[in-house]
Amino acid sequence: MERRNNDTLWKGMLERVFDDLLRFLFLNADRAFDLDRGFEFLDKELAELYPEPDKKSDTRFVDKLVKVYQRDGTEEWVLAHVEVQGHHDAEFAKRMFKYYCRIFDRYDRPLTAIAIFTGRDGKRLPDRYERRFEGTELTYRYNTLYILDYVDAELEASDNPFAVVTLVAKKALLEGRVLDPDLLKEKLSLAKLLLNKGFSKWKVEGILSFLKNYIRFADPDFNRIFDKEIDGFTGKTIHMDIIEQVKQMKIDEAVEKKTASVVKNLLEQTKFTAEKIADIAGVSIEFVEEVRQGKH
């Protein structure tokens, strides 16, 4: 469930700071793209192109397909495909290539692809997909952004909002490695840094919400302490408001609790295999095993 919550938060965050992501990754972003024209997020269209239709619905990836306008007029618009990956996946590069093929077939437009690696094993994830056989070769390379490549001091000094998002993602790796009081100090330090940057209120509120929900305390009481401190910093003039994304998280949690209950009952009351239970409940075998291990 935790990974799926992160998926929801990243999807909302990318929509709020997409121009900042492009500027963070591409030095020529403002020359290449007409960022003032805004973006169109093609979530429905990307879902129709999903390259792994055989996977159950509880398996998600943070992926965005975005219409971006160019400045030079050679094309009215281009496409940006962004994927956020937090754990090692042997099929990741192939999935990126499958998306490229399907996007090309659908739109036949220039495409830039970006993979954001947020986990500790991000270095194990490739920046290309390659195949070769008997004189025929294929190489598909895409842009990669590995959060642990960036030094905290440089991110803190940056005037780009995505640098703060990257800091939040880095600090989230402390979960389970430090005690809640120390994690609270890290979160409040990030909040103060953000509030002093002079970013627009809309971006500040979005990043604050991302910070609150992406880095989690073991003890929920610390959430109330964090909220109280934020109100003190801001005089209650700033709200943590990725509202729709957080609402969706709550819906997902409620659905999963119900599904997990069904799977648990099947495990306890039948001798069905994990494969059969997964088929009955409409979940993956991995989810069944996680319920068996008490993770849901």
Is the whole-model pTM more than 0.95? no
- At residue 57 the predicted structure's pLDDT band, cuts being 50, 70 and 90, is very low
Closest CA to 42 of 81, 95, 7, 6: 81
| Residues 122/173, Cβ–Cβ less than 8 Å | no
Which pLDDT value is given to residue 134?
95
Phi, psi of 51 (to 5 degrees): -80, 0
**Averaged pLDDT score across all residues of the chain:** 84
Query: Alpha-carbon distance 25 to 193, whole Å?
Result: 21
Q: What pLDDT, in 10s, does the model give residues 227-282?
A: 899 888 888 777 765 545 555 555 555 555 668 788 888 888 887 888 888 878 87
Q: Is residue 56 pLDDT above 50, yes or no?
A: no
Q: What is the mean pLDDT of residues 86-104?
A: 90
Q: What pLDDT, in 10s, does the model give residues 2-43?
A: 455 677 788 889 989 999 999 999 999 999 999 998 899 988
Which pLDDT value is given to residue 121?
77
Query: Alpha-carbon distance 55 to 231, whole Å?
Result: 43
